[in-house]
Amino acid sequence: MLSGAAMIHPLFRLIVSDPQLLADHVEAYSELIAEEVGAVTTHWKKRAALHAVSLACTVVTVVLAGVALMLWAVVPVDNMNAPWALAAAPGIPFVLAVWAHFAAKAPEAEHGFKAIREQLAADAAMLRSVTAP
């Protein structure tokens, strides 16, 4: 026959005997979550800024290409001092737009919340080992 103390889960026994340990563990989790959320937020802000740069440069490219097309249509090429500038003016923001687009689409080095998942797995493994018969 099992006694009443043997039927209590080891986690509950730990909570009752040392509540400060549980409070410290919860505090460490909150710090870990805050750190992970900060890192993910920073990554999202960087991607949003790169998308904004890409969009703005695309708009500038379209406008400059339109102006270059109109200039090419109304000014004879023989009278232009630098006809290459008609291609270079929209080409520079186009290159920047392509770079920003691919920089924003680049895969991130770490998956968000990886440290939290690892810590939860470690805690679950520790609990399983404590409760194993």
77-94 burial string, b = 16+ CB within 10 Å, else e? eeeeeeeeebeebbbebb
- Long-range pairs for 34-39 at CB < 8 Å and ≥24 separation? 35/115, 36/112, 36/113, 36/115, 36/116, 39/112
Q: If pLDDT is split at 50, 70 and 90, which confidence band does 130 have? A: low
Digit-coded pLDDT (tens) for 30-43: 888 888 888 888 88
Q: If pLDDT is split at 50, 70 and 90, which confidence band does 58 have? A: very high
pLDDT of 3 above 70 = no
Instruction: Give me the percent of the chain exceeding a pLDDT of 70.
Output: 86
Separation in Å, CA 102 to CA 43, 53, 58, 107:
15, 11, 13, 10
The first and second tokens of residue 95, run together, are: 């290159």
Digit-coded pLDDT (tens) for 87-125: 999 999 999 999 999 999 988 766 667 778 888 888 778
Say what the pLDDT of residue 1 is.
43
